[in-house]
Structure 1
Amino acid sequence: MEVENIIPTESENNTLDLFSINTGSFLYHAFPKNDDSNQYFDNRLFFIERKFSVDSDYSLVAGTFLNSQKNRCVLLGMRNDLYRFDDNLVIKGVYAYAGEFFISAFERCGDDGFYETMREHTGVAFAPYIYHAAQYNFTDYWGVEAGLMLPGIVVMSMQWSF
């Protein structure tokens, strides 16, 4: 496996082509079913994605969201384009750390639920996010995705590219 350079080359230095923003997320806790969870459009997902290079299948992601207990968490991870059908449709995976961070805005992430359980066992409130989705790009600048986050959370969101 070839390691790709995350530092932009001179030709990529002045371009926004490597960046995108994900927002407008919808989620539903299908399994385990919990009607008390923060779901539908209330999770306020926002993250920035940065591709390693213009033709790379890998990206870094960093952002924030409200977890199932409505506590603000940080999201740090990696995206991998697993299979590209054409220029519009791609199957992707996002593998991320979701949890507390040293900034005070994220200190309550582990106050409840699974995050609290992880804090009790590890000292850090977090959840590993494993998410697979199909993303359809309607234009070079806008796409929608739908997928499943383990253990059984249905997710849909929009991606805005530059």
Structure 2
Amino acid sequence: MGQAPKREHNLHIFGGFTMADDIDAEHGLCILTHSRTIQGSWTSIRPRGRDGCQWWMLAAHDAREEFTGDLYTAATDLAEVSPAPLPQLIAATDPANVQRWQLRDRKPLKQWSQGRVTLAGDAAHPTSPYAAYGADMAAEDGYFIGRTGMVPSS
């Protein structure tokens, strides 16, 4: 992809995690919610044998304007339109465990293969860091590359 220009989506995400055990969030789920202008999601996680939840909130943001607000407060405000337990998960999150990133990507390559080499995932079609699209597309690419029967044997 080299120096291909980044495409701004004029969206940003606030994300975080909590290991709080006093929130009624069913384990083994990944829930996506949205209003007309805001998306939110939470997923149960289990690092090192402990149950917890990771979450994110997505909203419009003009990429030309610097974000100067407080990450935790912005996420809390966005979650006001979300159903439980998303607001409670954010409230239980240590502000140090909240991050923000802007969504952008690059145009995909026109050709992904040459000879016995095929690019997959973000190397061929870089995606914005949103809802694990890069990882999902890499797995999908691998599936379809494998179905062609042209995978070199080891």
Give the TM-score normalised by structure 2. 0.28
Higher strand share: 1
Higher-Rg member (1/2): 2
